[in-house]
Amino acid sequence: MDKKIRSFLIAVLFASLNGVFATPPSTDGEYGVVIEGYDWGPAVSKVILTFEEPVTSVNWNDYQVLVHRSSDCSTIPANQVLGSRSVIAGFVSDAMGMRLEEGNHLTLVLAVAPNLPIGSPIQYSRQEGCNGNNWINYDMTIRDETKGKIWNKEVNRIMPIIDSFDLSGRFSDGTGITMSYASYSPPDAQAKAPLIIWLHGGGEGGVDPSIPLVANRAANYASDEIQALFGGAFVLVPQSPTRWMDSGQGTTSGQVDDIYYKAVMALIEDFISEHPNVDRDRIYVGGCSNGAYLTFKLIIEFPDFFAAAFPSALAYRAANLTDAQVDRIKNIPIWFIHSKDDGTTVPEQTVVPAYHMLKEAGAPNVHFTYYDHVVDITGFFGGNDYQYPGHWSWIYSHANVSRRDYDGSLVKVDGRPVTIMEWLAAQSK
């Protein structure tokens, strides 16, 4: 959007909040933003203001934060274009938002919530050529109400965990398929380390591998908490140029081959060859929805390669799963996650019959956490009384909170109850 139009809109919003029509001062103070991943997606959680002189204290109630969201690609709903952010705390800091007693920066902590889309720096779109989640222009104007100073020039963007990933990965399989990918390498990995592969959902395809990491918190597999369970693990996140269930002539749910599974397998082999510290006996593959479909496809086609699988919101239709395929994968450790009210990957058509087929075939290490709903696991927004869309069961995987099997019993390893990631870390060929 034209800068003059944006300035006018900001002025109007300032005026509406202050009860007068007045153009804000034109000073161009610099700021940085912190973008964090949450169960529902990413949000700008902090803004870091730059001062010319050192400061030692802050009254965060003096600051007003306004946002303008725009995009040349995605259509943003009119009520989500312009708005204000609530400041809930503030402190003196350095340029990275680390607290100091005295410094040239001030960090304002902003309220975030699943029902506050004005806080999101991405937008989901169904437009042709812009399908799925995309980064948008997220312009902020911050004003000190007591001094009239304005900050409106972004100079730094901090994304915890995501910043620890290498986003430069590109792979071509030699047949015309080129994929972007994100990867994480555990620091000082001298000994063999396992590899966690995450396959994104249908809304995260494209050529920007930061999107699969941030759109639904998949970056959490590189978090300190999950990494500690594996003693350090590589993380590989391939990105489909379109969607994993693309057959080249439509969408497949297992009735025909997709166009990507061989290329993804070639990418995995290439990554391992470039990272000789990967433990080939501990390669784990998981994904959600589209990615859960591909997870299933990969273990069917390459049953001796993976140590375990963890699909959520499975999109592979059980009607397309043959007895021979079941026999091929029955000895692979698998932990399914799904919600009963998933209207996108309907469980009665996908995971429920697939799970029973495996159990009836004698699968010794297959588990299935089956939720009534996908709810707020933090408790901040209503707990069990706040429900996300039923399709979002990957929330439980990323947060590592799934513990129970299909019959309600706790999943155990060596007699000890475990979470899904603790179980995964214990699997080896």
Q: What is the pLDDT of residues 142-182, one digit of tens each?
A: 999 998 899 999 999 999 999 999 999 999 999 999 999 99
User: CATH 3.40.50.1820 residue ranges in the chain?
Assistant: 162-425
Q: Which amino acid is at 353?
A: P
What was the pLDDT predicted at 130?
82
Q: What is the DSSP string of 45-58?
A: EEEEEEEEEEE---
Is 356 a residue whose pLDDT tops 70?
A: yes
| Long-range contacts at 268-277 (CB < 8 A, ≥ 24 apart) | 268/197, 268/236, 270/171, 271/181, 271/183, 271/195, 271/234, 271/236, 272/195, 275/185, 275/195, 275/234, 277/189, 277/190, 277/191, 277/192, 277/193, 277/234
What was the pLDDT predicted at 3?
52
Read off the pLDDT band of 11 (50, 70, 90). Answer: low
Question: What is d(CA 373, CA 392) in angstroms, rounded to the nearest whole number?
Answer: 9
105, 156 in Cβ contact below 8 A?
A: no
Q: Which amino acid is at 96?
A: M
User: CATH 2.60.40.2180 residue ranges in the chain?
Assistant: 3-158
Beta bridge partners of 48: 32, 107
Give the three-state DSSP class for 173.
coil
Question: What is d(CA 316, CA 55) in angstroms, rounded to the nearest whole number?
Answer: 57
Read off the pLDDT band of 27 (50, 70, 90). Answer: low
* Structural domain 162-425, CATH architecture: 3-Layer(aba) Sandwich (3.40)
Is 22 a residue whose pLDDT tops 90?
A: no
Is 107 a residue whose pLDDT tops 70?
A: yes
Write the DSSP symbol of residue 393.
T
- Residue range 108-120: mean pLDDT, rounded: 97
Write the DSSP symbol of residue 77.
P
Is 1 a residue whose pLDDT tops 90?
A: no
Question: What is d(CA 264, CA 238) in angstroms, rounded to the nearest whole number?
Answer: 7
Write the DSSP symbol of residue 84.
E
- Residues listed for the chain: 429
Q: What percent of the chain has pLDDT over 70?
A: 93
Question: What is d(CA 359, CA 357) in angstroms, rounded to the nearest whole number?
Answer: 6
Location of structure tokens 């409106």:
152
Average pLDDT in the chain: 93
Read off the pLDDT band of 73 (50, 70, 90). Answer: confident
Is 23 a residue whose pLDDT tops 70?
A: no
Q: What percent of the chain has pLDDT over 90?
A: 89
What was the pLDDT predicted at 9?
53
Read off the pLDDT band of 7 (50, 70, 90). Answer: low
Question: What is d(CA 80, CA 70) in angstroms, rounded to the nearest whole number?
Answer: 9
Is 188 a residue whose pLDDT tops 90?
A: no
Q: Which amino acid is at 203?
A: G
Location of structure tokens 């169960």:
39
Q: What is the DSSP string of 210-252?
A: HHHHHTT-GGGGGSHHHHHHHTS-EEEEEE-SS-TTB-SSSB-
Question: What is d(CA 226, CA 220) in angstroms, rounded to the nearest whole number?
Answer: 7
What was the pLDDT predicted at 404?
98
For 234-287, how does the pLDDT look when each residue is reduced to its tens digit (9 = 90+)?
Answer: 999 999 999 999 999 999 999 999 999 999 999 999 999 999 999 999 999 999
Q: Which amino acid is at 112?
A: V
Has this prediction a pTM greater than 0.85? yes
The residue that leads in pLDDT, 4 or 375, is 375
Question: What is d(CA 210, CA 79) in angstroms, rounded to the nearest whole number?
Answer: 26
Question: What is d(CA 402, CA 410) in angstroms, rounded to the nearest whole number?
Answer: 9
- Residue range 54-77: mean pLDDT, rounded: 94
205, 243 in Cβ contact below 8 A?
A: yes
Least confident interval from 73-77, 208-212, 214-218, 333-337: 73-77
What was the pLDDT predicted at 127?
81
CATH of 3-158, one of 3.90.1210.10, 3.40.920.10, 2.60.40.2180, 3.90.1150.10: 2.60.40.2180
- Residue range 185-194: mean pLDDT, rounded: 86
CB atoms within 10 A of CB 81: 15
What was the pLDDT predicted at 128?
77
At residue 331's C-alpha, the angle toward residues 327 and 336, to 5°, is 95
Burial 353-363 (b: 16+ CB within 10 A, else e): ebbebbeeeeb
Read off the pLDDT band of 204 (50, 70, 90). Answer: very high
Is 385 a residue whose pLDDT tops 90?
A: yes
